[in-house]
Amino acid sequence: MSDKIQISADALVPASNLRNNNLQKRNLKEVITDILKRINDELLTSHKEGQHHVITTMPITFNIASMSNKDSQRYIYSTVIDELISKGYRVWICPSKDGCKIKITWMSQTDETELRYQTQLIATHTVKF
């Protein structure tokens, strides 16, 4: 049978119409930008206070049009982590049903090793006399 049946073009929505649309992309960009700006402020404050890291939170509920919350979380969290790593930060995340903590440090592993060595050296040579 070589004759193909002609089906109406509007019988099935094209897959491209179901992928992330411009409204979703705009909403995602706004949410991610807000999170990164807040993290930036916390990083600067922590640095001014002499800290070496920040532990903060990210939202767990998002209202992105035509996108499940789980998909929104995955996209937003991974984008935030990628952005921080691209700026040279080390990042750890702890998502749970009650919240999402994120730890960010600007110290390298070498910096942390040196800091531990210095602290241990002073402790080893500290005596009361």
85-122 confidence digits (pLDDT tens): 999 999 999 999 999 999 999 998 898 899 999 999 99
29-70 confidence digits (pLDDT tens): 999 999 999 999 999 999 999 999 999 999 999 999 889 999
Is the full-model pTM beyond 0.75? yes
Comparing CA positions, the residue from 93, 29, 17, 97 lying closest to residue 64 is 29
The pLDDT, as a whole number, for residue 1 is 57
The pLDDT, as a whole number, for residue 74 is 96
CA distances from 83 to 41, 70, 97 (A): 15, 20, 24
Distance CA(122)–CA(110), nearest Å, equals 18
The pLDDT, as a whole number, for residue 108 is 87
28: Cβ contacts below 8 Å, ≥ 6 apart? 20, 64, 72, 75, 76, 79
- All domains in the chain, ordered by first residue: 21-124 (3.30.1710)
